[in-house]
Structures are given as C-alpha cells and as structure tokens.
Amino acid sequence: MKETIWTRQRTAAPARETLSREQIVKMAMLVLDEEGVAGLSMRKLAARLGSGATSLYWHVPTKDDLVDLLIDEVWGEIDVPEPELAGWRSGALLFGHSLRSAVLRHPWLPEVMYTRPSVGPHAMTLGERGLVLFGAAGFTAREVDLAMGSVMSYVLGTVSAEVATREMVRKSGRSEESWVSDLLAQAEAAADEYPHMQESVRRRTSADLDSELTANFVFGLDALLDGLEAKVKK
C-alpha cells in the first residue's frame, strides 16, 4: 500500500515560508465545497492563497496528500458523545445524524473516502470514541466493531445516495419542487399497471425533497438501532 501523509516524515518548510498547512487545508476545503474534486488543483489553490505552487508543496507534496488531509478534517467535525452523558443508544443516534450532516456539508466526500485509508488523527479519534460508545451497549468485543461499522455503513450509504440525488437536481437547473413534481409524474405514469407502486408514488406528492430524504434517513437509522438494541439484550 502506498505510504500516506500520516506515516511519512514531515519536511520542515524554509524559515522564510509564511504559508501554513492549516491555511492550505482551510482554503482547499472551501474550493472543494464550492467546486467538487474536479475543481481542485494545486495551481488554483495557490492562486486563491496568493502564493506560488512551490510554497504549497513544502507543506503538502501532492494533491492526494491534500485530499487525505481534507478527509481527516471532515472526520474531525463529527460528534461522538460519551456514553456516560448520552447513553449508547442516544449517543449512536447523535453520531449518525452528525455524520450525515458532515457529508451534506461536504458533498465531495463520498467520491473520495473509499479510495484511500482513513488513518489520520481525527479518523483515529472518531474510531476510538465510537468504539467506547458502542462498547458501552454491552456487545462482545467483535460485535462492537460490527455494530459501529453497521451504523457507519448505513449512514454513509444513505447519505451518498442523498448527495447524488441533490446533485441531479442541481445539474437540472430546476427548483427542487419542479424536479420532484416531474419525477413523481413520470413514476406515476410508469406505475399504471402496478397499483401498490402507484399508491406509494401518490403518498409522496405532499412531501418536499428535504422532508422525504430526512424521513427516509431517520426511519432507517432508528430501525437499525432497534435491531442492535434487541441483539445486545438477548
């Protein structure tokens, strides 16, 4: 496996260098949130910072290294409560919603998070706190890993689909209301010979996109935690 920025010894920048890694990461996050992964380049980033590309390379040798730093910054935004304060079930619920919110703030994340290992300090802290939280439920040692992994997989899978849906709406150039209305009209027409599907489509006509996506997420997360809670009580 290729060495990451987290395991590579950091090279000291020249004494005259005034740009910091923190400044670079902060500006790169703004670029990614605005333009996505395709819009991020070291040259563009240097221009935004009013600096030369060479200055960036002292702190971040490659674009891949920069993406690793940015992914870890997102992991640092996620709240993982202490079980003594929230209880494991409420804590897991807060963790799931915090993770979803972080991805929605940074919709580029699903495109890159599965392409590299997350081994930065924020990722390690999230993992450590998460294992303590799920461990408080009473799972066996191996089940703690599986329980936390199940919640993360559910949240990341669901919110990745949500990000893709929102991106389709954005690219259409239409309002969410108009886009959803057209989608439902097409679905209802296609479901003409499928009465249960047609009823399902009609149940959605009064819901806006945000409400529908949030309701879908909340129902699934609650059901998953119900299942985990039942399992640990056996």
Average pLDDT over residues 18-30: 90
Rounded-to-integer distance, Cα 48 and Cα 27, Å: 8
Q: What is the pLDDT of residues 75-133, one digit of tens each?
A: 999 999 999 988 999 999 999 999 999 999 999 999 999 888 889 999 999 999 999 99
Intervals of CATH 1.10.357.10 along the chain: 79-173+204-232
Tokens 């706190």 identify what position?
129
pLDDT of residue 54: 78
Rounded-to-integer distance, Cα 191 and Cα 196, Å: 9
Q: What is the pLDDT of residues 131-185, one digit of tens each?
A: 999 999 999 989 999 999 999 999 999 999 999 999 999 889 998 888 888 888 8
Intervals of CATH 1.10.10.60 along the chain: 21-74
8 to 64, 120, 124, 133, 162: CA distances (angstroms)? 13, 12, 17, 31, 35
Q: What is the pLDDT of residues 26-72, one digit of tens each?
A: 999 999 999 999 999 998 999 999 887 778 888 888 899 999 999 99
Q: Which fold has domain 79-173+204-232?
A: Tetracycline Repressor; domain 2 (1.10.357)
> Phi first, then psi: what are they for 217, rounded to 5°?
-65, -45
pLDDT at 218 over 80: yes
Average pLDDT over residues 185-192: 86
pLDDT of residue 14: 56
pTM comes to: 0.90
Residue 123: name the closest of 2, 9, 6 by CA.
6
Q: Which fold has domain 21-74?
A: Arc Repressor Mutant, subunit A (1.10.10)
